[in-house]
Every structure is written in C-alpha cells, then in structure tokens.
C-alpha cells in the first residue's frame, strides 16, 4: 500500500523546510534508507532517507520552496498504484498547515495571501494563468482537468513535466487508462513532427536583484529582531592585555598536538569566569530566571547563508587541546552545513569573535533566551601609558551585551574583571 511522506521536523525551532535537492525522481525504485532528498532547515541542510521501499510515485514539494512541517512532500508505493485517494487525504493536512502559517487580521481571521496560486496548466500565453483562490500544494500537482481522466500517477507526472495536456492522449491501459507508454509514444511522435518553439524575447535586466530568504536567514531575522525588541540590552566594554596570553599560546603550540587559537583561549577563560558569575550563565524565562548548572559555550561561525552557533558542551571541564579539536571540527561542519541538532543547540552563553577580520570593537545581539553575549575584537599593538613611560602592548577589546532583566551593570563588570584576570595570567586556565 502506498505511503504518504510528510515534511519532517528536523530541529526544535523548525517550522518549515525547503527541499534543497531531490535525489530521486518520479518512477525511480526506492529502498528503505535510500537518500531521498536534502532538506534545508533553519540551522543546516540534512539528508532525508526514505522511510519505506517501493517506487517514488509522486513529488509534491518542488525544490527551493518552503513547505510547512507535516505537509505532504512525496508518495512511495507499488508501480502503477492508484494514489488518487491518498492525494485527496494528503491535501487536507497540507491545507491545514498552510492556513496555520498564514498571518491573521486583527479579528483573528486569516489575512489574504499576498502570493496567489499559479495554475500549472500550459497555455499559449507566455504569462502564467493566475488564480485568486488559494490552493493547497497538491492542487498544483493534480489539476482538476486531469482528475477526470483515467491515468496512472506516473503518466500524470510525466505529462506535467513535459507540459502535455492529457486530453490529447489515447489511453491503451485497462479501460482506456493512460499509462507510461502512452506518454512516451506521444513525446516520440511530437519530437519528429514538431519544432521546438523559440523562446520569447527576454525583458531588460532589472536594476536590482531579488534574493530569496534561506531558512537560516529567516530564523536569524525572526530571533534577533525579537531579541532587540524584547530584551533591554546594555553594553560594557573593556580592554584586556594579551601580552602574556600571546607568549603562553606560542609555547603551548610547541607542545600541543593540535593548534590552539586565541578563540580557544577565550572560550576556556569565559567558561571559567561563568563559574564565578552564574547570572551571566543564565536565561530569562518570562516569569523567572534560569541559572544553568553546566557551562555550554556557543561560538558564532559565519557561513554563506548567515550565521550559525556550534556549541562546546561542558567547556569549563575541558582542556585547551580538547576545546581546540572540537572548535576546528565543528566550524568545518558548520561551513558544510552538516551540523547535527545536538551540535548547535543547548548553549548557555555565546561568543562572537570578529577579530580575525580586523574588527577592533563591536556589539553583538543577545541570542535568546541567553542573558548575555561577548563580542571579541582584534588583538592590536597599541601605545599604553605605564607610570611615566609609554610602551607598546598587545591588547584586545571585548564588549559584553547584557539583558538588563537578568544582569545588572556591576554583575557584568565583575564578570569582565574575572575574564581579564584569566587572560592576563593565562596559567590560571589550567587550574
């Protein structure tokens, strides 16, 4: 019996997904565990395996279009199996998911959709035929004109892909049913008898480019807008001497089996400082404050689609070599969009480091529901007055963004003092 495949929930914050690539096409045999598609979530692009075996009879989710969680995306069953009843059944949850995703007006009723449904029935015109009635995803894949014909799902799919009106075909299957060989015969005949029409003139290039939002960019926009609107941010900046840390890191890298970066030193120092200042390792929960008993440090990694924050779990308990190994591996997986949900969730405090880009100082937006985030600038050689003399010293400016609902100014300042003490006497990181 054919089985309807729905858009899965692949992360705790995921509300919709995008099929980045189908690895199977309609008519292909499928075994359980075969790679069926790549699904882009708000955090990563993940491989989706076929839950059952059979033949891929139907694809209801085109590539690069957002599909709500639980909406039908495919059907797997036996060759030539009649799936019309399953299509009807599948259209209801798809429509329900679509309705839930629609914005509402002031009285709670669904607001009119800004994107009308587009009919896929071919017409002589170069412009698509636009219907003002919203249609569920299956409605685009199964036009009403086709449902009155007897045709196998594979034949319908082949006809849609080729832009063929099934009314032009004579079925040779049981009871006049149009099947695969009828579509293939029609295509073969059309190839020899007709010429491919020339493309219509293309309009002049627009003076701008419309860039569709990725799932990651949508999530960044939603979460950080909410953070700036809801969390009362305030900022504390401190300059930290990195002379001792620079010399200590050079010595460590002659002994360590892995290269330890300045970011690794900062992660370790932050983790130890959070032990002493629990209100920085906290979260605003609406009607109470949550103080975390474990320290999990998220570190921001810039990728093409935006920003993702892998997590070093129990960073306060790990040695520098272990932290360095994890940050290198997680950053690489982040750039390849291969992080698992466990690797980018659960942070209790975040660090954003733009020092490698030459940025001297900046402020970062808090990653909710965390209470704070540390922005790290570049290490620079600057003149420093000590007593009656001026010397040149390597220094780094850090800015702590705090949620004033959780952290007060003195609390944030004390945290930065502890952090500075650890980095200015880095041997303490081993204690």
Residue 158 reports pLDDT greater than 80: no
Task: Give the pLDDT score at 248.
Answer: 95
Under CATH, which number does the domain 1-100+131-142 receive? 2.40.50.100
At residue 123, φ and ψ (nearest 5 deg) are -135, 160
CA–centroid distance for 427 within its chain: 39
What string of H, E and C letters represents the secondary structure of 368-404?
CCECEEEEEEEEEEEEEEECCEEEEEEEEEEEEEEEC
Task: Give the pLDDT score at 172.
Answer: 85
pLDDT above 70 covers a percentage of the chain that reads: 81
Residue 26 reports pLDDT greater than 70: yes
Of 42-51, 95-104, 325-334, 402-411, the poorest mean pLDDT is in 95-104
Q: How many residues does the chain have?
A: 431
**Residue 124 confidence class, pLDDT cut points 50, 70, 90:** very low
Domain with CATH 2.40.50.100 in the chain: 1-100+131-142
pTM for the structure as a whole: 0.62
Q: How do 349-353 and 297-299 pair as beta strands?
A: parallel
Residue 132 reports pLDDT greater than 50: no
Cis peptide preceding 369, ω within 30 of 0: yes
How far, in Å, CA of 82 to CA of 97, rounded? 25
> Which member of 23, 233, 313, 404 is catalytic?
404
Task: Give the pLDDT score at 300.
Answer: 94
Give, in words, the CATH class of 149-193. Answer: few secondary structures
What average pLDDT score do residues 95-119 get?
Answer: 38
Residue 333 reports pLDDT greater than 70: yes
Using the 8-state DSSP alphabet, how is residue 130 labeled?
B
54 to each of 28, 34, 244, how far by Cα in Å? 9, 11, 64
How far, in Å, CA of 138 to CA of 131, rounded? 15
Residue 321 reports pLDDT greater than 60: yes
Residue 104 reports pLDDT greater than 80: no
What average pLDDT score do residues 244-253 get?
Answer: 94
Domain with CATH 4.10.320.10 in the chain: 149-193
How far, in Å, CA of 48 to CA of 45, rounded? 10
Would residue 233 show up in a list of annotated catalytic residues for this protein? no
Kindly tell me the burial class for residue 192, based on how many C-beta atoms sit within 10 Å of its own C-beta (0-12, 13-18, 19 or more): exposed
**Residue 185 confidence class, pLDDT cut points 50, 70, 90:** confident
More confident residue, 42 or 237: 237
Which bin fits 260, alpha (ψ -120 to 50), beta or left (φ > 0)? beta
Task: Give the pLDDT score at 11.
Answer: 75
Task: Give the pLDDT score at 131.
Answer: 35
Task: Give the pLDDT score at 127.
Answer: 36
**Residue 113 confidence class, pLDDT cut points 50, 70, 90:** very low
Under CATH, which number does the domain 218-430 receive? 3.30.559.10
What average pLDDT score do residues 85-90 get?
Answer: 74
Task: Give the pLDDT score at 193.
Answer: 56
Long-range contacts of 133-141 (CB under 8 A, 24+ apart): 134/98, 136/91, 136/94, 136/95, 136/98, 137/60, 137/61, 137/67, 137/71, 137/72, 137/91, 137/94, 137/98, 138/60, 138/72, 138/87, 138/90, 138/91, 138/94, 139/91, 141/58, 141/59, 141/60
Using the 8-state DSSP alphabet, how is residue 102 labeled?
S
At residue 14, φ and ψ (nearest 5 deg) are -80, 130
Contact 27, 154 (CB under 8 A): yes
More confident residue, 311 or 154: 311
Domain with CATH 3.30.559.10 in the chain: 218-430
Contact 227, 365 (CB under 8 A): yes
Q: Which residues contact 418 (CB under 8 A, 6 or more apart)?
A: 272, 273, 276, 277
């Amino acid at each position: 019996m054919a089985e309807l495949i729905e858009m899965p929930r692949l992360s705790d914050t995921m509300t919709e997904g995008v099929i980045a690539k189908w690895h199977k096409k309609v008519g292909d045999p499928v075994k359980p565990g075969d790679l069926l598609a790549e699904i882009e979530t708000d955090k990563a692009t993940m491989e989706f395996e076929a839950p059952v075996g059979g033949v891929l009879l139907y694809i209801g989710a085109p590539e690069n279009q957002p599909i709500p969680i639980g909406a039908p995306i495919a059907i797997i069953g036996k060759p030539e199996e009649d799936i019309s009843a399953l299509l009807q059944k599948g259209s209801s949850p798809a429509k329900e998911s679509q309705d839930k995703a629609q914005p509402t007006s002031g009285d709670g009723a669904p607001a009119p959709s800004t994107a009308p449904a587009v009919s896929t029935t071919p017409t002589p015109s170069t412009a698509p035929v636009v219907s003002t009635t919203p249609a569920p995803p299956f409605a685009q894949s199964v036009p009403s004109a086709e449902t009155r014909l007897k045709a196998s799902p594979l034949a319908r799919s082949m006809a849609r892909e080729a832009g063929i009106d099934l009314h032009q075909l004579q079925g040779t299957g049981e009871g006049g049913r149009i099947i695969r060989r009828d579509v293939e015969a029609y295509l073969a005949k059309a190839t020899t008898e007709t010429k491919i029409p020339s493309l219509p003139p293309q309009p002049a290039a627009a003076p701008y480019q419309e860039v569709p939002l990725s799932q990651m960019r949508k999530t960044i926009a939603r979460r950080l807008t909410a953070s700036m609107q809801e969390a009362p941010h305030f900022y504390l900046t401190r300059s930290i001497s990195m002379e001792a840390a620079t010399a200590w890191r050079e010595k460590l890298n002659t002994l360590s089996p892995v290269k330890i970066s300045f970011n690794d030193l900062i992660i370790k120092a932050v983790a130890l400082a959070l032990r002493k200042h629990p209100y920085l390792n906290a979260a605003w929960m609406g009607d109470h404050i949550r103080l975390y008993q474990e320290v999990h440090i998220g570190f921001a990694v810039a990728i093409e689609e935006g920003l993702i924050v892998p997590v070093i779990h129990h960073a306060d308990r790990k040695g520098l070599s272990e932290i360095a190994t994890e940050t290198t591996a997680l950053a690489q997986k982040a750039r390849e969009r291969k992080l698992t949900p466990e690797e980018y969730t659960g942070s209790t405090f975040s660090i954003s480091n733009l020092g490698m880009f030459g940025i001297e100082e900046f402020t970062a937006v808090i990653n909710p529901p965390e209470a704070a985030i540390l922005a790290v600038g570049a290490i620079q050689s600057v003149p420093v007055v000590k007593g009656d003399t001026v010397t040149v010293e390597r220094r780094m400016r850090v800015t702590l963004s705090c949620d004033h609902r959780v952290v007060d100014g003195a609390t944030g300042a004390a945290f930065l003092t502890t952090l500075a003490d650890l980095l200015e006497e880095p041997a303490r990181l081993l204690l």
